[in-house]
Amino acid sequence: MIRKILVPLDGSEFGEHALPLAAALARKVGAMLHLVHVHQPAPAIPSAGLELVDLYDLHLRRDEEAYVAYAASRVRELADVPASSITLEGGEVATAIREYAETVKPEMVVMATHGRGALGRWWLGSVTDDLARTLKRPVVLVRPEEGKTDLGRRPELKCVAIALDGTALAEEAIEPAVEIGAPFEATYALIRVCPPEMRASYLPEGTSLHGLAFTALEEIAAAQRLAVKGCHAYLDGVAERLRGRGLRATAHVVIEEDPSIGILAVAKERGAGLIAMETHGRAGLSRLFMGSTADRVVRGGGIPVLVNRPAH
C-alpha cells in the first residue's frame, strides 16, 4: 500500500513537472508527498573570504528552504494532497536522497528526468540515473515539458503499459505497475517485443530479403511465426493471471529489431499514461533493461516510465 511518495526537486520548473502525477496518485490512495531538496554548500572563493562565503551559503540555504516549503504549500492548496518539505545537507545529491529515503521509507519515488535548478546547482539527470539504479523501491521518471507546472491538473491513468521479455526478472515490474494503476482502474497492456528472425542488417552487402531463395524465405517466415506464437502464449498466460485478479489486461506482440520502438508504439496506440519496466540495476540508464531500451523509452516517449529494481 502506498502511503508515502518521495519527490526530489532541484528548484527548477523542469523538476516540478513530476508533481502533478505524484499528486494524482497520492490523492487516489490517500498518500502523503514528501518534497525533498538537497543543499550543496557554496563553492569556496579564496578572494571573497571565508566569512562572506559562509554568509552567502546561509542566504542560499534559506532561499532553498523557502522554495521547497512554498512548493509543498502549493501542492496542498492546488492539488489538495498533504505534503511536507525538507532541505537536506549534501555533498553528493543522490547519496543524500538515498539515505533520506532509507529513513522515511517511501513506497515510491516520482521525479523528473532532468532539470536545472537555479537554487540547488545540480542536474536532475545524473541524480535520476543514480537513484533509478540504486534505490530499493520503484522510481517513476517524468519527462518535463516547457513552461510552468499546472498543479491543478489531475492526470488519469487509463492504461499502464508493461514491457516484458519472457523472464521472471522482468515480471517483477508487474506488481508496482498494478499498485499505481489499480486506483485509476487502469487497463494493463502487456508488451513483448519479438525480434525479427532475419535482420536486414545481418545480410551481406548488396543483398536483401527479396533476393533470398523462396525456400529460405519460407523457413524464415515459419521460424518467425513460431517465435511470435511463443511470445503470444507467454503474454496470454501473464494476462490470464492478471484477469484472475479482476484486472483488465491485453497482450501485444510486436516484431521489431529495436525493443524501445515496439514498446513506445504499443504504448502510444493504447493511450498509455505510464510505461513500466524492470531494471537490472547496472550503472547508467543505458544499461538498465535489455541493453539501451530503458534509456530510449525514457528519452523517446514523453510518457512517464516506472523503473523497478529487482529484489535480488
Is residue 148 one of the residues assigned to a domain?
no
**Position 311 pLDDT exceeds 80:** no
Is residue 298 one of the residues assigned to a domain?
yes
User: What's the rounded mean pLDDT across residues 80-103?
Assistant: 92
Measure the CA–CA gap between 263 and 276, rounded to whole angstroms: 10
**Position 118 pLDDT exceeds 90:** no
Is residue 260 one of the residues assigned to a domain?
yes
Is residue 245 one of the residues assigned to a domain?
yes
Do 164 and 192 form a contact (C-beta atoms < 8 A)? yes
How confident is residue 13, by pLDDT bands cut at 50, 70 and 90? confident
pLDDT reported for residue 27: 94
Residues 204 and 288 in one domain: yes
pLDDT reported for residue 291: 39
Residues 9 and 92 in one domain: yes
Between 87-96, 123-132, 250-259, the lowest mean confidence (pLDDT) is in 123-132
CA distance readout (Å), 234 to 21, 118, 167, 197: 31, 49, 10, 18
Is residue 115 one of the residues assigned to a domain?
yes
Q: pTM of the full predicted structure?
A: 0.84
Pairing of strands 139-142, 305-308: antiparallel
Share of the chain above pLDDT 90, in %: 50
Name the domain count of the chain. 2
Pairing of strands 187-194, 248-255: parallel
- What's the one-letter identity of residue 128? T
Residues 133 and 192 in one domain: no
User: What's the rounded mean pLDDT across residues 4-26?
Assistant: 92
Is residue 17 one of the residues assigned to a domain?
yes
Residues 112 and 168 in one domain: no
- What's the one-letter identity of residue 191? I
Between 3-7, 81-85, 91-95, the lowest mean confidence (pLDDT) is in 91-95
Residues 114 and 187 in one domain: no
Nearby residues of 169 by Cβ (< 8 Å), 6 or more positions away: 278, 280, 310
Measure the CA–CA gap between 153 and 155, rounded to whole angstroms: 6
Range of the domain at 280: 159-308
- At residue 33, what are phi and psi to the nearest 5 degrees? -90, 135
Measure the CA–CA gap between 309 and 173, rounded to whole angstroms: 8
Look at residues 258, 260, 256 and name the one whose alpha carbon lies nearest to residue 294.
Answer: 260
End residue of a domain, out of 88, 108, 142: 142
More confident residue, 155 or 108: 108
Residues 191 and 137 in one domain: no
Domain containing residue 210: CATH number: 3.40.50.620
Residues 122 and 165 in one domain: no
Residues 109 and 181 in one domain: no
Is residue 266 one of the residues assigned to a domain?
yes
What cell was used for 192?
513483448
How confident is residue 284, by pLDDT bands cut at 50, 70 and 90? very low
pLDDT reported for residue 40: 79
Residues 97 and 177 in one domain: no
Residues 165 and 287 in one domain: yes
Collapsed DSSP state (helix, strand, coil) of residue 41: coil
Is residue 51 one of the residues assigned to a domain?
yes
Collapsed DSSP state (helix, strand, coil) of residue 151: coil
- Model pLDDT for residues 30-53, shown as the tens digit of each residue: 999 999 999 877 666 655 556 666
